[in-house]
């Protein structure tokens, strides 16, 4: 037989494009459209419905950037359409690009009842099948004219449209056609038949009979279709396809569990206020689709987004609640938002689950076992035990498939964290969280699945996402055809829980991956938008303090505990840890608001802290000055979590001038030499008798690199940035300023001022850096070349630390050229080590080199600032402040202690008492208290969370002072007692506990 494959395939493509898809709505009549554009921000629904309107016709420009327009759409169904399926086709001026990145709308009835959302790939609103003509149609559309910032012809280009203040007023869109139309369901189904088979053909092997069987069936169907009478012959064409569509799948075919999905970024290329509306539009769409198809199941994560619907669109929320109760609209993830997991601190990561799971429990009586993070930029090694401590045991993500260097070896596996906890983890091999049920996608999932031979199923999150939209009726129809189709994987709508149960049952002992899930992409999100990152770290520290002092004051003095305020502030901080806010990858509007929010929260938290400390200190006229230490380690005579009258903290040695220029700082433990360039050329550990700085090199060295990644400007730093760079060694000022050495530099359009000091009582060099930054597409690093032979280094993560190699033996190690740390990086060789600690930076690199003397230099560099121009062209411009410290001779324990010290500074309060005894105290340096608070259920119980921080075993006694402790029970993160848990042993000293390396323990202490 002649090979006419290309001829038939091209014929099918043209017939679909030019004849069949237009024939889905064969007859239409225009609707009358009127418009009112709201001045300023969006208005309440009632105001939009009642607003005065004026006529508008197709082709008319509308919609200033970030504006809201209300369209009133009216018409009547023609009499001759009686008994036909009628729907409106509403085109706001859509382009065919991805939904969620342009204009979109929510349709309402005149009484304010939401109907469904409309976007470029979902423009219909069903009218029904009127028994007689003349039925009146009257709808209102709340339309958002959001600018298309990302998905145009030239992505990653700087734009001023990312902030309302700079976006201008020019209309963004031309109104499309608004019409009533007959839906020819036979033609619509024929289109889906042809699309599914055409997509299947393209994926089948040429040498296989099935491809040719499908081709011949399609050819016969095209012959049966009269292009001059499509409506009259569409059924005949469908009949020709019946046999090939009915052929069952191979019994060994891969099985795909489809889950309706609309990954909605809580902020990204739109502000938070717009996400509130995106969620309402999507939820309206999905509840409508659930009504239309009994097999469809939809899953939505992020408790914050459910809370937004509840607060702002109660009518939509009522429909969501009903669908949740029916088991078909499934809350997943158990987190407040789909957060970044690299940068949130220990307690913040725990609270993501506390607040997320508690919301789902309170609202729906549902507790998730599945953590749902499809788009997060890598996963910290401490996360598995946090997930388990929150009462979950499964994780889904697909983002690691974006890695550019190495292909991850598993799709279903155990993920083991730093303490040994394991989480059953699945990466959908479809390699997208926006699956459209395209033939190429489902076939890719089957081919790509790495567990072939031991497992048979995978999950496919199906629907338009990022900007929302969700699953379409076309995707549902395709899934129905793929349910049992020869040559294709089988597809079935299932909940995430049903999928995981099936996957775990068939593959109970999968391979194990130990340690972090590092994304070999988007590494610059650890540095971009430094003020957002500083605001996050500062907020986390203030919350730790607020809970500690408020709990202490409540139990000691009866001071009211601010339950509502702390709950609200925590949720706000957690929201801003969303994986496009904290990583710095959102538009200017988002980060401007984030800076304002963090400043407001800091003021509130400082008020809470101040009130609690005043209650503890007593009358301010009492004549004493108390030093409060919020850190989990004692310092300068002040106990951890307590206060006393005297402290030598904050005292530092006076700089001594050098003959060669520069200064010396010497406290008898550490001797630091600062040369005439303001660089640290020596940091001599006097007790150990060894130098910290590598021979011939200098620390506190600012280095400037060009920084223009190939794409994803705010997200990426590409390895070639290291090929060129310059050391900033010129000084414009070098002076002694009290107990500090002041270093001033100027470069480009920017200036930097540093204050270097050494305390009298610690082996530590403190560095305060202020940068007035006005560079673009540059990366600023702070370098510490250390005379240490370290093959690996420790980097703090949640509830512990993770080790990474300093060498680049393999492509896996090479790819980690920029990584995340929290408060410290530690390097060592047997007998001696050093730490670099920080108060707000996350990105860093650690490299090694061998000198001419055969010694090894290990260089630790903190990433301070970037200047990408997309999506925020003013990223990082302005003044930034950083605190770092170099700690020579540091053990891991020293690194932990100094990291807390720099992030939780002391406070001085006037009062009448001479001391505040810590509410809780530990007798083991390796165990750290991460939270002291009152139980969220307002029972008055005390909640103490602690963890082993050094990576070893610990026997520790927890004392609760002056709180009349009646007993203690182990609890999960939600503060629920753990059934069958071994109770801590009570003795005369307190509660005795045994901890394994990095173990988290939450104790609920009752009051007698």
Q: Answer yes or no: are the C-beta atoms of 582 and 536 closer than 8 Å.
A: yes
Is residue 306 helix, strand or coil? helix
380-433 tens-digit pLDDT: 999 999 999 999 999 999 999 999 999 999 999 999 999 999 999 999 999 999
Left, alpha or beta for 106 (phi > 0: left; psi -120 to 50: alpha)? beta
Mean pLDDT of the 274-289 span: 97
817-841 tens-digit pLDDT: 999 999 999 999 999 999 999 999 9
Instruction: Please tell me the predicted confidence (pLDDT) of residue 982.
Output: 84
Of the candidates 428, 432, 406, 404, which has an alpha carbon nearest to the alpha carbon of residue 521? 404
Instruction: Please tell me the predicted confidence (pLDDT) of residue 988.
Output: 76
Beta bridge partners of 32: 74
Cβ atoms within 10 Å of 750's Cβ, excluding its own = 19
Mean pLDDT of the 599-624 span: 95
Mean pLDDT of the 784-811 span: 98
Buried b (16+ CB within 10 A) or exposed e, 132-162: eeebebebbbbbbbbbbbbbeeeebeebebb
Rounded distance, CA 548 to CA 537, Å? Answer: 17
Cβ atoms within 10 Å of 507's Cβ, excluding its own = 18
Cβ atoms within 10 Å of 770's Cβ, excluding its own = 15
Using a pLDDT cut of 90, give the percent of the chain over it: 94
Rounded distance, CA 463 to CA 71, Å? Answer: 27
Written as six digits, the tokens of 352 are 């993501």
904-936 tens-digit pLDDT: 999 999 999 999 999 999 999 999 999 999 999
Phi, psi of 360 (to 5 degrees): -65, -35
Q: Which pLDDT band holds residue 646 (cuts at 50, 70, 90)?
A: confident
845-863 tens-digit pLDDT: 999 999 999 999 999 999 9
Of the candidates 874, 922, 883, which has an alpha carbon nearest to the alpha carbon of residue 631? 922
DSSP strand pairing (255-260 vs 457-462): parallel
User: Residue 837, Cα to own-chain centre: how many angstroms?
Assistant: 24
Whether the per-residue pLDDT at 776 is higher than 60: the answer is yes
Beta bridge partners of 72: 34, 140
Is residue 701 helix, strand or coil? strand
Q: Which pLDDT band holds residue 31 (cuts at 50, 70, 90)?
A: very high
Whether the per-residue pLDDT at 870 is higher than 70: the answer is yes
Of the candidates 188, 178, 235, 181, which has an alpha carbon nearest to the alpha carbon of residue 21? 188
Whether the per-residue pLDDT at 963 is higher than 70: the answer is no
Instruction: Please tell me the predicted confidence (pLDDT) of residue 152.
Output: 63
Whether the per-residue pLDDT at 96 is higher than 90: the answer is no
Mean pLDDT of the 131-144 span: 90
Q: Answer yes or no: are the C-beta atoms of 652 and 756 closer than 8 Å.
A: no
Place of tokens 């109907």: 115
Q: Answer yes or no: are the C-beta atoms of 496 and 393 closer than 8 Å.
A: no
Of the candidates 199, 166, 71, 80, which has an alpha carbon nearest to the alpha carbon of residue 125? 71
Q: Which pLDDT band holds residue 647 (cuts at 50, 70, 90)?
A: low
Whether the per-residue pLDDT at 1 is higher than 90: the answer is no
Three-state SS letters, 986-1002: EECCEEEEEECCCCEEE
Cβ atoms within 10 Å of 474's Cβ, excluding its own = 16
Contacts of residue 850, Cβ cutoff 8 Å, sequence gap at least 6: 856, 857
Whether the per-residue pLDDT at 650 is higher than 80: the answer is no
User: For 220, how many CA atoms within 13 A lie in the half-sphere containing its CB?
Assistant: 14
Of the candidates 546, 353, 304, which has an alpha carbon nearest to the alpha carbon of residue 973? 353
Left, alpha or beta for 963 (phi > 0: left; psi -120 to 50: alpha)? alpha
Rounded distance, CA 189 to CA 253, Å? Answer: 25
DSSP strand pairing (32-38 vs 54-55): antiparallel
Written as six digits, the tokens of 242 are 């019946």
Whether the per-residue pLDDT at 130 is higher than 80: the answer is no
* Sign of CA pseudo-dihedral 159, 162, 163, 169: positive
Whether the per-residue pLDDT at 726 is higher than 60: the answer is yes
Among the ranges given (82-86, 556-560, 621-625), the one the predictor scored with the smallest mean pLDDT: 621-625
* Sign of CA pseudo-dihedral 304, 306, 307, 313: positive
| Helix, strand, coil share (%) of the chain residues, nearest 5 | 30, 30, 40
pTM of the model: 0.97
Average pLDDT of the chain to the nearest whole number: 96
Catalytic pick among 163, 340, 375, 828: 375
Instruction: Please tell me the predicted confidence (pLDDT) of residue 151.
Output: 67
478-533 tens-digit pLDDT: 999 999 999 999 999 999 999 999 999 999 999 999 999 999 999 999 999 999 99
Instruction: Please tell me the predicted confidence (pLDDT) of residue 937.
Output: 97
DSSP strand pairing (422-426 vs 394-396): parallel
Place of tokens 């009478």: 229
542-578 tens-digit pLDDT: 999 999 999 999 999 999 999 999 999 999 999 999 9
Instruction: Please tell me the predicted confidence (pLDDT) of residue 1007.
Output: 82
Instruction: Please tell me the predicted confidence (pLDDT) of residue 648.
Output: 57
172-216 tens-digit pLDDT: 999 999 999 999 999 999 999 999 999 999 999 999 999 999 999
Rounded distance, CA 555 to CA 550, Å? Answer: 9
Instruction: Please tell me the predicted confidence (pLDDT) of residue 853.
Output: 93
Count H helices, E strands: the chain?
18, 54
Mean pLDDT of the 928-948 span: 97
Q: Please spell the DSSP secondary structure of 601-647, one letter per residue.
A: HHHHHHHHHHHHHHHHH--GGGSEEEEEE-SSS-BTTBPTTEEES--
DSSP 471: -
Q: Answer yes or no: are the C-beta atoms of 803 and 816 closer than 8 Å.
A: no
Instruction: Please tell me the predicted confidence (pLDDT) of residue 621.
Output: 85
Whether the per-residue pLDDT at 619 is higher than 60: the answer is yes
Q: Is 567 noted as a catalytic residue in this protein?
A: no
Instruction: Please tell me the predicted confidence (pLDDT) of residue 134.
Output: 80
């Amino acid at each position: 037989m002649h090979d006419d494959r290309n001829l038939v395939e091209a014929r099918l493509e043209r017939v679909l494009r030019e004849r069949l898809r237009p024939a889905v709505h064969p007859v239409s009549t225009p609707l009358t459209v009127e418009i009112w554009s709201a001045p300023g921000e969006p208005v309440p629904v009632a105001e939009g419905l009642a607003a005065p309107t004026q006529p508008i016709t197709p082709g008319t420009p509308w919609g200033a950037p970030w504006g809201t327009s209300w369209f009133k759409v009216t018409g009547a169904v023609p009499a001759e359409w009686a008994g036909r399926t009628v729907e409106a086709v509403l085109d706001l001026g859509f382009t065919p690009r991805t939904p969620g990145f342009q204009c979109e709308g929510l349709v309402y009835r005149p009484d304010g009842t939401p109907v469904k959302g409309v976007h470029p790939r979902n423009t219909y609103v069903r009218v029904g099948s009127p028994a007689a003509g003349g039925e009146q149609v009257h709808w209102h559309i709340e339309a958002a004219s959001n600018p298309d910032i990302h998905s145009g012809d030239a992505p990653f280009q700087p734009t001023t449209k990312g902030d309302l203040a700079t976006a201008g007023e020019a209309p963004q869109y031309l109104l499309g056609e608004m019409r009533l139309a007959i839906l020819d369901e036979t033609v619509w189904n024929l289109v889906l038949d042809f699309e599914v088979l055409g997509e299947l053909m393209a994926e089948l092997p040429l040498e296989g009979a099935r491809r040719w069987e499908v081709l011949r069936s399609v050819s016969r169907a095209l012959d049966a279709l009269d292009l001059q009478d499509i409506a009259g012959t569409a059924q005949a064409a469908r009949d020709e396809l019946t046999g090939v569509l009915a052929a069952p799948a191979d019994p060994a075919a891969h099985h795909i569990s489809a889950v309706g999905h609309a990954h909605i970024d809580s902020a990204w290329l739109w502000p938070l206020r717009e996400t509130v509306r995106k969620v309402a539009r999507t939820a309206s769409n999905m509840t409508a689709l659930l009504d239309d198809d009994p097999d469809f199941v939809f899953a939505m994560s992020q408790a914050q987004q459910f809370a937004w619907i509840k607060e702002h669109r109660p009518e939509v929320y009522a429909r969501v609640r009903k669908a949740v109760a029916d088991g078909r609209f499934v809350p997943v993830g158990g987190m407040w938002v789909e957060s970044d997991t690299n940068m949130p601190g220990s307690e913040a990561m725990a609270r993501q689950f506390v607040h997320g799971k508690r919301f789902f429990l309170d609202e729906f009586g549902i507790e998730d076992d599945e953590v749902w993070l499809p788009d997060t930029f890598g996963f910290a090694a401490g996360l598995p035990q946090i997930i388990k401590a929150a009462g979950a045991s499964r994780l889904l993500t697909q983002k690691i498939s974006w890695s550019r260097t190495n292909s991850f070896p598993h799709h279903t596996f155990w993920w083991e964290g730093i303490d040994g906890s394991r989480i059953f983890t699945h990466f959908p091999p479809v390699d997208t969280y926006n699956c459209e049920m395209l033939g190429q996608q489902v076939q890719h999932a089957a081919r790509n699945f790495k567990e072939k031979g031991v497992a048979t199923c995978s999950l496919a999150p199906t629907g338009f996402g990022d900007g929302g939209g969700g699953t379409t009726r076309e995707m549902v129809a395709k899934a129905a055809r793929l349910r049992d189709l020869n040559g294709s994987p089988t597809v079935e709508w299932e909940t995430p829980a049903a999928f995981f149960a099936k996957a775990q049952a068939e593959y109970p002992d999968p391979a194990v991956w130990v340690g972090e899930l590092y994304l070999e992409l988007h590494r610059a999100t650890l540095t971009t938008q430094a003020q957002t990152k500083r605001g996050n770290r500062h907020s986390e520290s203030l919350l730790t303090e607020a809970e500690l002092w408020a709990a202490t004051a409540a139990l000691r003095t009866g001071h009211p505990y601010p339950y509502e305020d702390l709950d609200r502030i925590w949720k706000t901080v957690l929201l801003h840890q969303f994986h496009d806010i904290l990583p710095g990858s959102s538009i200017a509007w988002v980060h401007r608001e984030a800076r304002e929010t963090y400043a407001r929260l800091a003021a509130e938290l400082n008020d809470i802290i101040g009130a609690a400390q005043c209650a503890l200190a007593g009358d301010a006229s009492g004549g004493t000055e108390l030093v409060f230490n919020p850190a989990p380690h004692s310092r300068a005579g002040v106990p951890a979590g307590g206060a006393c009258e005297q402290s030598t903290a904050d005292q530092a040695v006076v700089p001594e001038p050098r003959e060669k220029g520069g200064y010396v700082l010497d406290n008898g433990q550490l001797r630091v030499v600062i040369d005439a360039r303001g660089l640290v050329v020596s940091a001599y550990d006097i007790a150990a008798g060894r130098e910290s700085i590598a021979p011939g090199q200098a620390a506190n060295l600012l280095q400037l690199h060009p920084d223009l990644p190939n794409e994803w400007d705010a997200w990426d730093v590409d390895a070639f940035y290291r090929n060129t760079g310059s050391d900033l060694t010129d000084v414009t000022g070098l002076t002694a300023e009290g107990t500090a050495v002041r270093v001033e530099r100027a470069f480009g359009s920017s200036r930097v001022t540093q204050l270097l000091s050494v305390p009298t009582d610690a082996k530590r060099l403190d560095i305060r850096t202020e940068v007035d930054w006005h560079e673009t597409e540059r990366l600023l690093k702070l370098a510490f070349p250390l005379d240490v032979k370290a093959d690996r280094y420790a980097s703090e993560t949640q509830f512990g630390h993770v080790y990474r190699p300093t060498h680049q033996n393999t492509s896996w190690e090479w790819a980690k050229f920029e990584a995340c740390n929290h408060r410290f990086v530690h390097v060592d060789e047997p007998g001696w080590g050093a730490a670099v600690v920080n108060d707000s930076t996350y990105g860093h690199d650690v490299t090694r080199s061998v000198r001419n003397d055969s010694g090894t230099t290990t260089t630790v560099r903190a990433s301070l600032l970037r200047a990408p121009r997309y999506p925020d062209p003013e990223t990082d411009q302005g003044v930034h402040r950083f605190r770092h410290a170099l700690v020579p001779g540091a053990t891991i324990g020293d690194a932990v202690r100094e990291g807390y010290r720099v992030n939780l500074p002391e406070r001085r309060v006037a009062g009448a008492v001479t001391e505040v005894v810590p509410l809780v105290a530990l007798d083991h340096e390796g165990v750290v208290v991460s939270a002291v608070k009152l139980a969220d259920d307002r029972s008055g119980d005390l909640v103490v969370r602690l963890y082993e921080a050094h990576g070893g075993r610990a026997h520790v006694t927890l004392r609760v002072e002056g709180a009349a402790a009646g007993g203690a029970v182990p609890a999960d993160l939600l503060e629920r007692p753990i059934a069958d848990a071994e109770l801590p042993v009570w003795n005369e000293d307190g509660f005795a506990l045994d901890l394994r390396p990095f173990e988290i323990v939450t104790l609920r202490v009752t009051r007698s």
